[in-house]
Structure 1
Amino acid sequence: MTNSSVNPNNRPDWFKSSYSEGSGNACVEIAIKAAEVLVRDSKDLTTPYFGVSTAAWSAFVDHAAR
């Protein structure tokens, strides 16, 4: 993963998985910031997001893809 999704004002650009529900009501969004993947619930943007290392995120995605 690259740092390309971080915009110049240093706020993350959030995006949803292509596998997200079509209505947009049940989604997890992620953003890449430095060497971290940020994760948040798109249904409630007032709750805090959390971050995991890119290595941990890659391991999660690899496991989920099985």
Structure 2
Amino acid sequence: MMFSRLSLAAGAAAGGLVVFLAMQAINAVWSLPAARGEGRASERIEAQAATNKAIGELANASGSRSR
């Protein structure tokens, strides 16, 4: 009876370790690189919007000075 409980506990611990390692591998290979790519794309869009806004403000400022 005691051997079966120890076996059950060891099997649960080993199974938990296998699941943990599998999830870490999936994150490292698939999820994290995709999230980094999405983050970079978002940063590019924000930087482009800020650049466009600054160019518009400069154009407005130089246009109002020449009048």
TM-score range, shorter chain: under 0.3
Taking CA–CA contacts closer than 8 Å with sequence separation of 6 or more, which of the two structures ends up with the larger relative contact order?
A: 1
Q: Which structure would you say has the larger Rg?
A: 2
TM-score, length of structure 1 as denominator length? 0.22
TM-score, length of structure 2 as denominator length? 0.21
Higher helix share: 2
Higher strand share: 1
